[in-house]
């Protein structure tokens, strides 16, 4: 099997942990490096959560700390959604290893330049680390196959009426990456809101027969209640758990599961009501060449099967 070399950039976070579950469960991926940044929580917490979760699932890969603040905005986190510690009420494991001595940007540069083929970057937080990488080291662009990002929204937001969290907290980073010329897949709220798990399915997950599956179900049930208690609550959310970040990995290993189109996308940086909006030029009004592949549809049944299989695979592996 030809494996896909991958760098994961994340900010765990409940759905980041589930994304890591899928990524490490799949033999198609060769995970070279995991970098962390502030986003769902502050850097100290996202780093700890990454090390804790990887320790629990017996994966020892370099974890490198990145940027602690957005480029030009005051930091905002999402403890109200993910819990004070960031992983609901679940305790995973005391980390058995420490973060790398190399900062994330240097670790990414070294990994990219030493790879035998172009590397895919999976990004499931604000794009602060990726923007810093491309700004400081534009020479690595040709070594990046694509960036698969969970973030943005073509229609509707979860931080404002138009802005999704990862884009909202560091819109300057997103805009810089979108203009970099590197191929980008955007798994925005348009598709991630369709990639949900029902409460009934979550009950089935808890009965898969491993301690890992039980912990996953406990963590995700916490997510259910916090997702339904937001300013942008939609009726029915309390019955559905949206595992946003998984899409950024799933679309790489099962691309036929998703549908999307290429558009020119730019980011609002200054609007008092629209900051962080990812503006998708559906009608080519700008005349600009498409720069982002925007996903909008997912086969939910296949998505659930993929996720359940990943939880089963990891659960059996660590027993």
Q: What percentage of the chain carries pLDDT values higher than 90?
A: 76
Please state the rounded mean pLDDT for residues 186-199: 93
Is residue 227 pLDDT above 60, yes or no?
A: no
How far is 1 from 307, CA to CA, in rounded Å?
21
Q: What are the residue boundaries of the structural domains of the chain, listed by start?
A: 4-317
Specify the pTM.
Answer: 0.94
Q: What is the pLDDT of residues 27-84, one digit of tens each?
A: 999 999 999 999 889 999 999 999 999 999 999 999 999 999 888 888 777 666 656 6
Q: CB-based burial of residue 59 (10 Å sphere; 0-12 exposed, 13-18 middle, 19+ buried)?
A: middle
Please state the rounded mean pLDDT for residues 259-270: 97
Please state the rounded mean pLDDT for residues 306-310: 96
Per the annotation, the verdict on 207 as an active-site residue is: no
pLDDT at 218: 87
pLDDT at 228: 45
How far is 176 from 267, CA to CA, in rounded Å?
9
Please state the rounded mean pLDDT for residues 248-255: 98
Tokens found for residue 293: 């592949």
Catalytic residue among 82, 172, 244, 293: 244
Specify the 3-state DSSP secondary structure of 304: helix
Is residue 195 pLDDT above 90, yes or no?
A: yes
pLDDT at 2: 86
Is residue 197 pLDDT above 50, yes or no?
A: yes
Is 3.30.365.10 the CATH classification of the domain at 4-317? no
How far is 298 from 235, CA to CA, in rounded Å?
21
């Amino acid at each position: 099997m030809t494996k896909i070399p991958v760098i994961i950039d994340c900010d765990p976070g409940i759905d980041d942990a589930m994304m890591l579950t899928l990524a490490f469960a799949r033999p198609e991926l060769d995970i070279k490096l995991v970098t962390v940044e502030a986003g769902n929580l502050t850097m100290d917490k996202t780093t700890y959560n990454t090390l804790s979760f990887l320790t629990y699932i017996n994966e020892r890969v370099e974890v490198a700390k990145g940027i602690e603040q957005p480029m030009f905005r005051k930091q905002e986190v999402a403890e109200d959604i993910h819990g004070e510690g960031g992983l609901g009420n679940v305790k995973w494991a005391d980390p058995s290893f420490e973060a790398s001595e190399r900062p994330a940007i240097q670790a990414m540069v070294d990994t990219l330049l030493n790879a035998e083929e172009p590397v895919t970057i999976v990004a499931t937080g604000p794009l602060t680390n990726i923007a810093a990488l491309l700004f400081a080291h534009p020479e690595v662009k040709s070594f990046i196959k694509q960036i698969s990002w969970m973030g943005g929204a073509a229609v509707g937001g979860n931080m404002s009426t138009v802005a999704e969290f990862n884009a909202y907290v560091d819109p300057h980073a997103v805009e810089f990456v979108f203009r970099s010329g590197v191929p980008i897949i955007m798994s925005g709220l348009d598709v991630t809101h369709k990639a949900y798990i029902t409460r009934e399915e979550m009950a089935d997950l808890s009965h898969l027969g491993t301690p890992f599956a039980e912990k996953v179900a406990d963590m995700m049930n916490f997510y259910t209640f916090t997702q339904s208690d937001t300013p942008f609550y939609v009726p029915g959310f309390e019955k559905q758990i949206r595992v946003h970040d998984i899409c950024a990995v799933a679309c790489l290993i099962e691309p036929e599961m998703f549908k999307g189109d290429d558009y020119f996308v730019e980011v609002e940086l200054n609007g008092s009501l629209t900051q962080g909006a990812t503006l998708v030029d559906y009608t080519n009004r700008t005349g600009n060449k498409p720069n982002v592949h925007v996903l909008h549809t997912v086969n939910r049944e296949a998505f659930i099967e993929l996720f359940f299989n990943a939880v089963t695979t990891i659960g059996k592996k660590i027993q």
